[in-house]
Amino acid sequence: MKFSRIAAALAASLLFLTPPALAADPVPSARDYPVPPAGWQVPRTEWGDPDLRGMWPLDYLAATPRERPAEIGVRREWTEAEYQERLGQAEQRIGLEAAQDKLGILGMGHWREDGLPLWQTSMIVEPANGRYPELTEEGRRAAAAAKSSWNTEVFDKISDFGPWDRCLSRGMPGSMLTGAYNMGIRVMQSPGLVVIATEMVHESRRVYLDGRAAPPPEVTDYLGYSRGHWEGDTLVIETTNFTPGIGNGPTPNSGQMKVTERITPVGPNQMRYEAWVEDPVMLTEPYKIDIPWQRNPNYEFFEYACHEGNVQIRGYITSTSPRFEALRQARFDAEGQGEQASGPGGAP
């Protein structure tokens, strides 16, 4: 069972020193980026690349909304009063595990990993309102037709379950963003290759740095096909060749989705992660995610046992589908007759 971890508070600063290789856009909030020590330089691997290796869990981002609340408008940073209110709410959620322990309850306080809020108001920073862009007509159709355990109560066939329900993938960019738990990300490197492994679903993205071309369009993967290069100290990743219908966003992705990421070290244990997501079939315009990553060498991956025994999908169908109503009624009648024959507590 996966128990929650209490994330340490984010170090805050009113100033931010911009490393030369950082993308030109300013960070959403300088308070989320501590000033690196004087003289700090990006470490290098044994073969000379910027060293991104380590554990970069996203649990501390769980209190930051993916979309900005509509009433905030285009403001990228909370006011002092707004931040303190959100901080208090986050601290209450973090304390839920201990409170449930005292009551002898095993509840969501033990499952969820809730961190402290960032000063930035949303993970999405473009469009300017910090919200997903409008969908195309095809995007609206696909979003309305998409089914999963989050929006479905009666399950009749395998297509009533989403890819995440079936433990296949969270797709992109969902795999690089927060969930309720299992939010670990590990970066590994070797000459010509960067591997990004995720704790939830235990997927691994291979980013090839050897200049190879993308495969033919018919060659697809849940997480796409990633090719990267260095721009100074920034790893730039271009990912295409996505399997349609997987993405974790406002609508299932099309095969034409493209994700461009920039990962830039900005301090001894911090990186800036930026991702531009474009899907002309589903979205009327691209959107951008911009968040800080913090290294946590003490974090460990837990087993992601999604549905052990592979029985949950069948159980959902047999317990809700109209096709199995007669079977459920027969079981109910048989159990009722058994209770009447034996009496309360099984006594004759």
Residue 125 CB neighbour total at 10 angstroms: 22
Question: Distance (Å, rounded) from C-alpha 222 to C-alpha 246?
Answer: 6
**Cβ atoms of residues 173 and 249 within 8 Å:** yes
Tokens of 277: 């997501």
| All structural domains of the chain with their residue ranges | 30-306, 310-339
- DSSP letter (8 states) at residue 172: T
Write down the mean pLDDT value for the chain: 86
- Please count the other Cβ atoms lying within 10 Å of the Cβ belonging to residue 56: 23
Report, as an integer, the average pLDDT of 273-278: 98
- The SS3 call for residue 282 is coil
pLDDT of residue 17: 34
pLDDT in tens, 227-270: 999 999 999 999 999 999 997 789 999 999 999 999 999 999 99
Give the tens place of pLDDT for each residue, 43-70.
999 999 999 999 999 998 989 999 999 9
Confidence grade of residue 342 (pLDDT, cut at 50, 70, 90): very low
Q: What torsion do the CA atoms of 255, 286, 138, 155 make, to the nearest 10 degrees?
A: 70
Beta-carbon count within 10 A of 116 CB: 21
pLDDT higher than threshold 70 for residue 133: yes
